[in-house]
Structure 1
Amino acid sequence: MLQLLIYLRYLSVAGQMLTVVFVAQRLNLPIPARALLSISAGLLLFNVLSHWWWLAHREAGPRALALQLLVDLLALTALLYFSGGPANPFVSLYLVPVALAAIGLDIAPMLGLTVLTAALYTWLMGHHVELPHLHGSDFQLHVTGMWVNFLLSAGIMAVVLSRFMTIVREQRRSLSEARERAIRDESLSALGSLAAGTAHELNTPLATIGLLVDDWMSGDHPPAREDLELLRSQLAHCRDHVRALAEMARRGAAGESSVEPGDAFVHACVDRWRLLRPNATARFRGGAAGRRVRVDPGLQQALINLINNAADANAAAGVDEPVEVETGMREGRLNIAIRDRGAGPARIARPRRDHPGSGLGIGLLISKSSIERSRGTVKQSERDGGGCVTEVELPLVAEGAA
């Protein structure tokens, strides 16, 4: 905006000087030409300094633009003072700084400049140098001046507004590109969470496989059939998790999501967790029949991580109780409560790492990231009688939405 204003001011100063010379030499009107040319020369000097400053900095804030418009306003007032004041047909040029302020400034400086313009116009009504009259032809000159003023104002506004619309289109294009980058970054973040979640799930079967291999290497007897079956089962778990990661990665890259009944979705998460932890137990109770949620890539993994954390807490506390998973409604959102009898919420800040299956200490971080991307929330609180309650709230999908 400042660059455009500087270039327009060069044209304006040239037009002012040519108009003064034309009126004084060709029309032979006794106007104060020296004072008018001095004002234009001063404005030209200010414009040269402003141009030099802009070339050195290449950026200008609202204060710089407001200063430029203020100088233009004062220079125009001085020119009008020596050339008839409100009787000058070019008095409507006062609207140009106001229009530029409305486009380029915030509301407060724009209103201030508008009030100042009105005050200066009012002041000119009682303080100005009268224009000399040419008998019989002065009104026609006034009409001609109004016509020239209209052409000049229309040209300035056309240039300014076209430049402004170009800036708006560029900003819209930049915003669209930024939105696309944000979507790509979101997909990459989702893929990272999915990869971390799969690593979290693979930790237990891989630890079991490592224990079996160490036991076989330290023993003199071949592995028992039961151990081989366990090894085969754990390898199948690893293979299934890797396949699930590949599928969720494909959905995450494509930004795909699905709408599912809340109870059925949570129940499916519990069933998948049972395959991961066949020696642990969980009890599910649905209380949101008919309610649906949008399932983004990684949301299932997030809930499985939370259930797994609850099972780890029970195991670490030596409690032989199932993890309780219950769905319900709270303030128009699906509420998923996961209850355990572990050490409470404080354990999350100090995850156990002293035995296989205790996790990598990242399950809650992964879950929070995925749930927040699904516009949900996670919070933890103490459970009555000891333990922790992890509550997940997810927005519902209206009936008929896909």
Structure 2
Amino acid sequence: MIAIGSTLRRLAPDRAAPDDGATRKNMQQLVQLRWIAVFGQIVTIATVHSGFGIALPLAPMAAALAALVALNAATLLRLKTRAPATNVELFLQLAFDAAALATQLYLSGGVTNPFAFLFLLQVTLGAVLLEAWSAWALLALAVACFAGLVGFHRPLELPGGDESELFRLHIEGMFVCFALDAILVATFVARMGRNVRERDARLADLRQQAAEETHIVRMGLLASGAAHELGTPLATLDVILNDWRRMPALAHNAELLDEIEDMRAEVRRCKAIVTGILLSAGEARGDAPVVTTVAVFLDEVVADRRGARPVGVIAYENGFGEDQPIVSDTGLKQVIATVIDNAIDASPHWVGVTASREADALVIAVADDGPGFAPEMLANFGKPYSSTKGRPGGGLGLFLVVNVVRKLGGAVVASNRPGGGAIVTLTLPLAALAIGKAREDVG
């Protein structure tokens, strides 16, 4: 069991609110879309007023454009802050855009202006970006604006009053409006939809991580309770075996004495395992995290595995380079020991352990010469009860390893070797192991 107590402390962190990255990205997309709207309106107003000779109220229309520019400037300043973006902000921005469009249409013919159908773009954006209540509210606002423009608008006055010319301009304007709507929907709505999907994927990952951490809490409580319960009978067995060793009837039987010593050694080993569990749970104070170096730390882990497990060869190579001080504790050692033990189970005659440095990370690769990982095992690597050993509770070791390394900011990658066997690579950021770094992050 790996750093149970530290795990319990880490499983109730102050989680931030759901990532607002998608909302911020969508606000940036709205800024870009608004710049396009401002530029398009300037070109359209200039073309209609100067090119077609249609009189337009330039001053109020320019004021509406200035309001859009001011909103964009305020939004850019807002995005520089670290405050999370919200659904209400997106709704207010889209509502402002709809109101600005309604203002421009009121000043230029109302619903007879072919660009009145740009309200559909606002509704589409709201359906993609907003929560249900705000999307419906934006739809209601757009419908209200469109309905109001039917009866209230400033009519366009064509030079000479040629109605056929007005109809021709209306058809051409509808074509431009349709093309503009289609381009903007295909471009910006697709981008915003991708941002929403990325957010949903991150939330799904967070839910999965929360479920895994809840599982670790349950295992931690079970292991800690079992360790407490086992402590007393193990101590009793140790005392009884020690008394047997001194009994006159057994003291002169060398064969029985050897067996008693073997039993005492196994009891002491069980007691050491129980002590390690309690230590990892934060209930033993005698073995605090210690300052060591990468070389010494790895040498101790490999030496411990060589002494504890029957294995033909553990080929160990430390290519880390310059030695570096780190903070080590029992939990961190057990993470690596678990991976080595799994390799020994798969390949008792040979296991390879190599250490290297990549950028600012310690990379530990544990290879074996066994049958390798099955495809379904690779697909579910690190998930609880994903194991090929066929015994109850199998797969929990790697599940805990993956979670411990992830909490340190690292990663665990499993793959099959081209020549046969498997390899598990642990990447541990040196910053997480540095002196002064709280070891509560382990587990």
Give the whole-Å Cα distance in 1 for the aligned partners of 2:132 and 2:179.
Answer: 29
Equivalence map 1:23-38=2 (5 Å): 23-38=48-63
**Residue 364 of structure 1 corresponds to which residue in structure 2?**
none
Q: What is the Cα-based RMSD across aligned positions, in Å? A: 4.4
Distance 1:29 1:253, change over 3 A: closer
| TM score, norm. by length of structure 1 | 0.54
1:255 and 2:255 correspond: no
- Map residues 283-362 of structure 1 onto 2, 5 A cutoff: 296-297=393-394
How big is each residue's C-alpha offset from its partner over 1:102-143, in whole Å with a ceiling of 9 and x where there is no partner? 122221222222112212211111111111235132111101
CA distance in 2, matches of 1:239, 1:6: 66
Does the alignment pair 1:128 with 2:139? no
Q: How far apart are 1:189 and its partner, in Å?
A: 5.9
After superposition, what is the alpha-carbon deviation per residue over 1:72-116, rounded to whole angstroms, capped at 9, x for unaligned?
Answer: 111111111111111110111111222222122221222222112
Unaligned 5+ segments in structure 2 are 1-25, 274-307, 309-336, 346-380, 397-443
Residue 7 of structure 1: how far off its partner (Å): 1.6
Does the 8 A contact of 1:85 with 1:125 survive in 2?
Answer: yes
Against the structure 1 CA distance between its residues 233 and 42, is the aligned structure 2 distance closer, same or farther, given a 3 Å change threshold? Answer: closer
Are 1:92 and 2:117 matched, yes or no? yes
2:193 counterpart residue number = 165
Q: Tell me the residue number matched to 1:206.
A: 234
Greater mean alpha carbon deviation, residues 180-189 or residues 15-24: 180-189
CA contact (8 A) 2:386 2:395 kept: no
User: For the structure 1 residues 180 and 205, does the alpha-carbon distance in structure 2 shift closer, same or farther, using more than 3 Å as the test?
Assistant: same
The AA in structure 1 aligned to 2:234 is L
Q: Residue 235 of structure 1: CA displacement?
A: 5.9
Counterpart residue identity of residue 127, structure 1: F
The residue type paired with residue 30 of structure 2 is L
Q: Is the 8 A contact 2:238 2:267 kept in 1?
A: no
The amino acid across from 2:170 in the alignment is H
- Give the CA deviation at 1:34: 2.3
Separation in 2 of the partners of 1:165 and 1:114? 19
Residue 148 in structure 1 maps to residue 176 in structure 2: yes
| Of 72, 82, 85, the match for 1:60 | 85
Q: Is the 8 A contact 1:39 1:79 kept in 2?
A: yes
Residue-by-residue CA offset, 1:171-224 (whole Å, 9 max, x unaligned)? 35535654775687578668756864774575355313431366479x695855
Q: Which amino acid aligns with 1:206?
A: L
Question: Per-residue CA shift, 1:260-282, capped at 9, x if unaligned?
Answer: xxxxxxxxxxxxxxxxxxxxxxx
Match of 1:376 in 2: none
For residues 193 and 172 of structure 2, the distance between their equivalents in structure 1, rounded to whole angstroms, comes to 31
Please give the alpha-carbon distance, in whole angstroms, between the structure 1 residues aligned to 2:383 and 2:97: 54
CA contact (8 A) 2:382 2:395 kept: no
**Matches of 1:186 and 1:298 in 2, distance apart?**
16
Give aligned-pair identity as a percent. 32
CA contact (8 A) 2:94 2:126 kept: yes
> Does the 8 A contact of 1:81 with 1:128 survive in 2?
yes
Contact 1:188–1:253, Cα closer than 8 Å, also in 2 = no
Distance 1:237 1:27, change over 3 A: same
Q: Residues 69 and 97 of structure 1 are in contact (CA less than 8 Å); yes or no, is this contact kept in structure 2?
A: yes
One-letter amino acid of the counterpart of residue 210, structure 1? D
Q: Structure with the greater relative contact order (CA < 8 A, sep ≥ 6): 1 or 2? A: 2
Question: What is the rounded CA distance, in whole Å, between the counterparts of 1:46 and 1:175 in structure 2?
Answer: 30
Instruction: Work out which of the two has the higher radius of gyration on C-alpha atoms and give 1 or 2.
Output: 1
1:147 corresponds to which letter in structure 2? F
Q: TM-score, normalised by structure 2?
A: 0.49
Q: CA deviation at 1:38?
A: 2.1
User: Which consecutive residues of structure 1, in runs of 5 or more, have no partner in the other structure?
Assistant: 259-293, 300-402
Between the aligned partners of 1:298 and 1:23, the Cα distance in structure 2 is 72
CA separation of 1:41 and 1:171: change in aligned 2, threshold 3 A: closer
After superposition, the Cα gap between the structure-2 partners of 1:254 and 1:101, relative to the gap in structure 1 and judged at 3 Å, is closer
Quote the offset at 1:32 in angstroms. 1.7
Query: d(CA) in 2 for partners of 1:45 and 1:165?
Result: 26
Pick closer, same or farther for the CA change 1:172–1:238 going to 2, 3 Å.
farther
**1:149, CA displacement in angstroms?**
0.7
Letter of the 1:157 counterpart:
V
